[in-house]
Structure 1
């Protein structure tokens, strides 16, 4: 669920004094479909908003949320996605997820105060980080939460939390494109940033020209390839990050993809493009573009449809990529792609 959608729903439920259970992925291993920080809201009638991946795990989370509604006490649950379950979702292998289930009670002044602070930060376009203390004994403790910006802090003070906040503030910009993470198994740290980033999958000729062009347009640019001779700092001198990966199977483990992200898929083959596109369709990326002919696109789409994706999923993809300006050279193709990105950036959503 995109952050703006999540906050809109929470604010509406606050206005209606409608309590709910908030499920958040704290940790994941293997091929669990969503990453740390993914959220789902479960209402009293067990209807949901958002998703943490669908399938059996989501069904088990909803069942656990019913107990949280009854007890009005948070829980931390571990769920295992077997290889058989994963296969039904179109993945190669299973994985485990640790999920926090917290009861949001609007009768609690602290809960209201905390979310009001978050709403104000978001509406004023201020980047912030949410910190949640994860108690070891949830039978006798309650969740504590804090919010901090690069210069501000909201929440009860203690030496321990102030030390963590100091570290976060000193490394604030390094957090911008990281997923949420657990700090020493005690504090869950969730960055909420609005800055637009571009992730270019493929460091070939088009990727190189496009990376430099995107940087000049004010994007935070990350280039990813599995070939060090194509992805290195000497070749990409102006971009923010260059990452060499062993393969394209777990891209969301190495780069943050949010609702402000632009993803450009320009790898060197059909199979790599399909692998990357399948992952990107499970993110909230603002723009997903894939290079290639109509025939190549149709082949990749058909493979994904057979794996369980829908036509609605594929409608998010811009392919063939770029505005139709009869581009031919890598430089011209990069211009056509950048122009389409600007169109999405400045215009209404597709």
Structure 2
């Protein structure tokens, strides 16, 4: 998990009395090299971890962070950088021409922040989501108090500003069916900061037993799947049982649940057969905006890993479309 690695690096530096700063993208408009929430840890000794988008802007801010650490200047600051070729000499031009603006907070960490960072790491490990707050006054973390929006920021002046972020494994993938594709999908999603739960009624299946990437594995009858899938805008569900009958059985239990994503693996022929069966009962899953079948983006995938890549890509598409809308609700 990229998020955990960044905070773990900062924690280790502070425990070793090494000075370290956090760079974090807190706002953006238009096309920019870094998305809101991108983080980078900068140690005075030159060690780096993470990214805020790369390029000239990252290089400049890394040097600025090192300078502050060298002079033991622990005052936080924020900068709004303009990525326009036409930006005037009097503006804070980034030297890039992406076409947008990007606001970055530079927060030099101190040993007094260790308690907060420890709580953050525990939240990422468990997982328990909470709210990270960064301002001129310092950094804090409120466990089990996530906000409605993942990112929020407010800038009143140079010294009056606040950035808030929901932290934790808030995106959860429920993989129903622990076969080869489910195992491959678990490996990929583990690198994308998803909390992974695999459900199967066949505890003896080797790919289910040996799936060490899943955070949780639940042995449950496909007839009782419904009670294990909670509603939520951060929940992604994929149906990939060994038979089309079991796929339909599971799908029927989940159609009325409010989910971010509900997908079913299979050929177009199988999908059409299941949909037609449901249509005879006046059930129309194809009209649900969050229903995806056949599952995955059309990249000509054949092997379990290729299919898993196509599914993960569709997850990313859905997740990032939602993030873009959240960052810019008026666009």
**TM-score, normalised relative to structure 2:** 0.49
Structure number with greater Rg is: 2
**TM-score, normalised relative to structure 1:** 0.46
